Structure 1
Amino acid sequence: MKAALASLMLALGSLLAAAPSSAQVGPSPAEAAKYTGLHAAAQRGDAEAIRKLAASHANLEARDGNGRTPLHVATFARQREAIRALAQAGAKLDPLENDRYDAVTIASVANDEETLALLLSLGASAKQVTSRYDGTALIAAAHLGHAGVVRQLIKAGAPLDHVNNLHWTAVIESVVLGDGGPRHQDTLKALLDAGASQQLKDRQGNTPLQLARSRGYMEMAKLLEKAGAR
């Protein structure tokens, strides 16, 4: 029975490990080729065109077929000057597209620290509930082992102990959806150093320490033990 449950959990973990990247859908080449106006300027990073279009009262919050604003498009494309121009023109920094991702979460999942830093400096929030899992950018980054992104989000005030609809926190996701290796160890350390709870349990009543031990992630278990986990 225990073996079957372990196999089920591993299968679930593998499925969910692919979820953020597959759920976040950037514009395809064919879709981008059809863009006009601000979406086209955002995709190619044309800050001057953005300023001119904004001055002529183009809709800064226009949506494409997947609910992406020009800001989402610029973030997917890593067009930082376009992001800056959109923000200066008054574009909203925190809208959600159809899959419920904001620009901060898009940059976080992409491990795009430079774009994330720009968004946060412009006033984008690290605190939003995003994605179909009712998670946060911090949870998504912890899941993927993006330790530098995690540290940026923590500094920006991301909620350390938000619980998503899978009943997982960033600490738990760094364990159950990680590989136990250096990136996820560094991610877990960043969370623990910031004061994230190591006592919150998953839906089955398992603590992060129990989850780390059950997976054989002994370095992560040591980090949790050092932080006072039980």
Structure 2
Amino acid sequence: MNQNLELILASERGDLNAVKQLLEDGADVDFKDADGRTALMAATQKNHLSVVKFLLKAGSDVNTRDITQLTPFICSGANGFHEILSEMLNYGADLNSINRFGGTALLPSSEKGYLKTVQRCLDAGIPVNHANNLGWSGLLEAVILGNGGRLYSMIIELLVKAGADVNIPDRDGKSALQHAKDMKQEKVVKILTNDYVEQNETINRAKAFYLDDKYEEAISETNQALEKDPNNLDFYFYKGYSLQELMRYDEALEEYKKALAINPKDLDFYFYTANCLRLMKKTEEALAEYDKACELDPAETFYRYHKSNYLRELGRHEEAVIEMDNLLTLKPNRYDFSFHKANSLRSLGRHEAAIEAIENAIKNDPTNPLYQLHKNQSLELIKKQLESQGVNK
């Protein structure tokens, strides 16, 4: 194996000493493998902050693209790696760069509930009202793919404060406000109509500390509040998320479980426990938390959708397809679900099935060029498969 490929593999492992040695020996810091990944992309995908910092100092390009048109910068945003994203902002990250779906780093972080990443993107000046090829802005993603709970409400507050337009329509002509009303996200509706004021001063202080990266202060604030009001689940949320930022994951998980012991039907906390377990790399336990929420409310799509997202990140596309089929049974006209299903099927090499899935998206939104592009790409992959088998078609 040549030293350029060794550099990428060492970066993926997070082996900083090997990375340093390989660069000293003359490895190309921006060499790309067969997937178009540089060492910086490999380190970013695995959240190896120390390796990322070293590669950036060595001159690696944060804006170079792999074969899926993903850059290390957008990758950091899409995965909620806000510390890496912050580092890349100091090394020429293109704030207007987009992924293959037409979204900036702000959009996937808004979709997936990565609050601190959203905050960093907004502070950096990434355009708040940019819409992707599905016609969704960060605000629309946070409403449509969120659940209106504590975490997503905070994200929506940040987006609105940064100037997000609540009336921008999606490709179906519906605004974030209309979606929030239809989804009965009452708190979000109040935020979007400037009618929401948090009355609890402790929550206001804890939120302010959290957003200012003063996590120990947020924990102290909520600890004092819990002594007086041990059944207030909002305090457990702010304390748990502050502990997560300090990477005290076991303690964060304990706070979420305390909240669930008080109210096992507060589905919000299953999302928090799943996210915490993901950070702890406890994959099966994280998936089980999503399942618990799905069992408690089988008609709710939020938890199943985010489980499918996680499965795709893990490369477990067969399982992701099953979840997308479940989602499409619940909401057959959600063309974004068909689109994600098609992407997983393509990853599995099932191109004819992928075309069938993308046709459902095209049926719902026939003028969207993104869907036709993906259908054409699948057709091209089928052609290549046949050619490799010696079949002309």
Q: Which fold has the larger relative contact order, with Cα–Cα distance below 8 Å and residues 6 or more apart in sequence?
A: 1
Q: Give the equivalent residue in structure 2 for 1:64.
A: 33
For the pair 1:136 / 2:104, whether they are aligned, the reply is yes
* Equivalent position to 1:150, from 118, 127, 137: 118
* Equivalent position to 2:51, from 82, 90, 93: 82
**Distance between the aligned counterparts of 1:202 and 1:168, measured in 2?**
6
Q: Give the equivalent residue in structure 1 for 2:137.
A: 169
Task: Give yes or no for contact 2:5–2:33 (8 Å, CA) kept in 1.
Answer: no
Q: Give the equivalent residue in structure 1 for 2:9.
A: 40
Tell me how far 1:83 sits from its aligned partner.
Answer: 1.0
Taking the TM superposition and a 5 Å limit, the aligned residue runs for 1:1-230 are 36-130=5-99, 132-226=100-194
The amino acid that maps onto 1:38 is L
Task: Give yes or no for contact 1:51–1:89 (8 Å, CA) kept in 2.
Answer: no
**Distance between the aligned counterparts of 1:90 and 1:202, measured in 2?**
39
The amino acid that maps onto 1:39 is I
**Distance between the aligned counterparts of 1:93 and 1:76, measured in 2?**
13
The amino acid that maps onto 2:119 is R
Tell me how far 1:95 sits from its aligned partner.
Answer: 1.4
**Distance between the aligned counterparts of 2:9 and 2:67, measured in 1?**
19
Tell me how far 1:149 sits from its aligned partner.
Answer: 0.9
Tell me how far 1:224 sits from its aligned partner.
Answer: 0.5
The amino acid that maps onto 2:123 is K
RMSD of Structure 2 on Structure 1 (CA)? 1.9
Tell me how far 1:57 sits from its aligned partner.
Answer: 3.1
**Distance between the aligned counterparts of 1:152 and 1:174, measured in 2?**
16
TM (normalized to structure 1)? 0.77
Tell me how far 1:67 sits from its aligned partner.
Answer: 1.6
**Distance between the aligned counterparts of 1:205 and 1:198, measured in 2?**
13
Name the structure where helix makes up a greater proportion of residues.
2
The amino acid that maps onto 1:121 is N
Tell me how far 1:207 sits from its aligned partner.
Answer: 1.5
Query: What stretches of structure 2 of length at least 5 have no aligned partner?
Result: 196-393
Instruction: Look up the SS of the partner of 1:226 in the other structure.
Output: coil
Tell me how far 1:217 sits from its aligned partner.
Answer: 0.9
CA deviation string 1:88-130 (max 9, x = no partner)? 1111111122222222222223222222222223443333111
Tell me how far 1:175 sits from its aligned partner.
Answer: 0.8
Tell me how far 1:46 sits from its aligned partner.
Answer: 2.9
Tell me how far 1:158 sits from its aligned partner.
Answer: 0.9
**Distance between the aligned counterparts of 2:103 and 2:136, measured in 1?**
9
Task: Give yes or no for contact 2:74–2:98 (8 Å, CA) kept in 1.
Answer: no
**Distance between the aligned counterparts of 2:159 and 2:94, measured in 1?**
18
TM (normalized to structure 2)? 0.46
Tell me how far 1:179 sits from its aligned partner.
Answer: 1.5
Query: What stretches of structure 1 of length at least 5 have no aligned partner?
Result: 1-34
The amino acid that maps onto 1:200 is I
**Distance between the aligned counterparts of 1:128 and 1:206, measured in 2?**
26
The amino acid that maps onto 1:92 is D
Count of residues in correspondence between the two structures: 192
